[in-house]
Structure 1
Amino acid sequence: MRKLEKALAGAALAAMVAGLCPAAHAAEVKREIAGTLADGTQVSAITLTADNGISATVLSYGATLQKLLAPDSNGRVADVLLGYDELSDYVEHPNYFGVTVGRYANRIAGGRFTLDGKTYQLPLNDGRNSLHGGDHGFDKTAWEVVSTKSGPTASVVLRHVSPDGDSGYPGRVVATVTYTLDEAGNLGIAFEAKTDKPTVINMTNHAIFDMAGEGSGNGAMGQMLTIPASHFTPVDANLIPTGELRPVEGSVFDFRQARRVADGLRDGTDQQIVYGRGYDHNFALDKGVTARPELAARLEDPASGRVLEVLTTEPGVQFYSGNFLDGTLIGKQGHLYRMGDGIALEPQKFPDAPNHPDFVSARVDPGKPYRHVMIYRLSTSR
């Protein structure tokens, strides 16, 4: 019965994302062994491939989006994600490349929050803060592959059970991530989580993009970014939101019209840029929380013509300009990753929301599952 329930849940999520991403012809799924963890657990690599040249490879370790291949305006295919070629590097040199982050994406101040009068302490893995669920978050565990499916929309469903008290969070949480790919160039990612006691959940994908192709000589800083947000959440010196919603107008945070990523990146007169060493900020999307995914960001590489649109049901998107890539990580094809070689666009609840009553709540209760649906939509501009 449990296997049937899991299959039905995965099918429901796949159908939901498929309904948001109209499909044409068949897309294929291929499953291989990516390697084995120290405890003997086998990790799978599942590749979803469409006829239009787009394909996505997902590792069951961390429910990680390892590769995303996309053609340019001339049909040349490149991997647009920073990351590693080998499973061992994701384990031994973690840097959140393409992973599913949880239980709580982004930062929680002091690693503490209070729920129903009880204070919970989380691991401090980011100076004074807890980041992306702590040292042993959703990104550092092997997920179960529940199902894979080829057809008009290819899909893979992954599942992870986080016990009560895991990394300090209350509640036993059963989480699923469903990746889908259709012929229109839509890679859907649907997150769902159920809990047996009140808790906080904020899941997203942490892909780092270079639309010119991973390892390109110029990185992502010359690419054109649009974020439909009139406000952002400024941070303090510890990168924790102050609670203010600040207008972007007249500042280097105004991406309502397409601008080069690099244009405001070195503006040392803006204290927010100084705090973040560049952009590492949450943007409050004008659309707010929506029932169906709507546009959160658009990234275009003028040279190749590749375009990425990020859609989400969530109220915010974290724009991170790769400020902590310092040349110490060797990624795919032996490429040395440096500051600005890629950017992350992470749809989410706002950072530190459990400690800001005015922010959209991240609380999840029994019988009221958490859901977040996002889409990476790939196309070309010419």
Structure 2
Amino acid sequence: MKWAVGGTSIAPDYNASKGRFWSAAPEWLAQAKPTSDGGNSLLLSFIQEIDMCIDKTLSRLKDGYQIDAFLWHQGESDYAKSKDYYRNLKTMVAYVRMHLTEKTGKDYSRLPFIFGTVARSNKYFSREVENAMKQLAAEDPNMHLIDMSGAELLNDRLHFTAHSAEYLGQQVYKQLEQIIKGVIVRTDELKGKRLGIIGDSYVKNHKEPVKNTWHYKFAEKHGMEYLNYGKNGSSIAYSSPRWGEAMYVRYKEMPDDLDYVIVVGGHNDGFKLDSIGGIDVFKERLAMLCEGLIEKYPTAKIFFFTRWNCKNFAGSDAEKVVDAMIEVCGNYSIPIFDSARKGGIYANNDHFRKIYFQNSKNNTDTAHLNEKGHERFLKVAESFILQY
């Protein structure tokens, strides 16, 4: 996905002849329109290109897709506002990462950003712009800076010679190769590890085989030993004769030698808050679960996943439970994925459920994905887990 226009800056300059800018400053972007629609925002046009590529091509690929990096080379046109370059570039990169995360439901907050410096012989070279690039690369491990300070330029003292352009391409390729190999190394390290997952019918998979679930497919893909402790009707904090002990108690049934522990819950707790004793009691018992897991598995990687979204989610008990899970897990530094808001699972949409949820009378099942739905969410969950 490419969007490039020569002689353009990040910082808006209303006296510029081309009048097109990459700025992600909120106050400026709020009044801007994409250049493709006759406006002056290159960034919004770039985002449009990304969205069209995802909607028309990438989302239709049988094996899914992963965006590996954001490539960038620019800076000459910001020499007049070089003091603002650090903030402007940082804001722009953050905007693209955030947009990709919201668009795809995957966490792209650490999307690798590969960029190069401006040649020092360039007639628009700015030491402040170069220093801003170096500072960003030093602060963000996912920003990879290529030193082009000594690059050869054409007689216009602006554009690279063929040799310099080829060198930049080779260095970008090397960075991409290292990034992709890094992902492969982390993936290989999962082979032979023991993964235990505990939860409700999301984990048990209700009426369909466990092998159809995203977590089973994740373990199988990475060569992990898989243990499923899902139970229909199970809650994090509510025990009953019908549904059995809550997860904050029955996690003790899981073996001691797990390398990865995943907890999926909260769906049933939302219906039982009054029986539990309210949201504060839910938080207390969730804290007991967090403390118990850390005590039982001090060397394991522990993850939580919330329930999906639902109709009338805002202000509901379902939202209270999701927010409580995020709060309590945060108190224990346990990574938690907000499936309700970032999962890309539109459980409140009838048409979506017909495609991605298990068959139910009158299409009322808002909890249980079918195999196609699990394959959709696998990409999201895998991206989240592999960060750690």
Q: Higher relative contact order at CA 8 Å, sep ≥6: structure 1 or structure 2?
A: 1
Structure with greater proportional helix content: 2
* TM-score, L = length of structure 2: 0.24
Structure with greater Cα Rg: 2
Q: Which has the higher strand share?
A: 1
Q: What TM-score comes out, normalization by structure 1 length?
A: 0.24
